[in-house]
Amino acid sequence: AQKVTQAQTEISVVEKEDVTLDCVYETRDTTYYLFWYKQPPSGELVFLIRRNSFDEQNEISGRYSWNFQKSTSSFNFTITASQVVDSAVYFCALSEGDKGSRLTFGEGTQLTVNP
């Protein structure tokens, strides 16, 4: 069965600090997809990135970057030069290849960026 673990329940940083959110996943499938979503206080989940199991290249998008390592079953998310607007709950999620877009979410990490 698939499982996603986000060991960090809460993280608090000061603005402009870099912060890394950890995600470890479990799956028996060789084809799977990993996602990160952001959930601000309004409640609506905002899609950030999708990665498939065959693409281990790291990705950078502005201040966001993702490190995918199959050897450690991890898909970590780094925010560089954090801003107050980054404060939210961040979820890592997994979709196995034969289950379409059905997502298994981790428990989330509450990130607070203080001015």
Q: Does 43 bind other proteins (CB under 8 A)?
A: yes
Whose tokens are 């079953």? That residue is 73
Question: Is the CB of 14 or the CB of 46 nearer to other proteins?
Answer: 46
- Residues 6 or more apart whose CB falls under 8 angstroms from that of 92 comprise 4, 6, 21, 23, 25, 34, 35, 36, 75, 77, 105, 106
Count the neighbouring beta carbons within 10 Å of the beta carbon of residue 24: 16
Question: Is the CB of 10 or the CB of 17 nearer to other proteins?
Answer: 10
Question: Is the CB of 35 or the CB of 75 nearer to other proteins?
Answer: 35
Distance CA 79, CA 46 (A): 16
Q: Does 95 bind other proteins (CB under 8 A)?
A: yes
User: Nearest distance from residue 2's CB to other proteins, in Å?
Assistant: 11
The site for other proteins (CB under 8 A) is made up of 4, 33, 35, 37, 42-47, 50, 52, 91, 93, 95, 97, 99-108
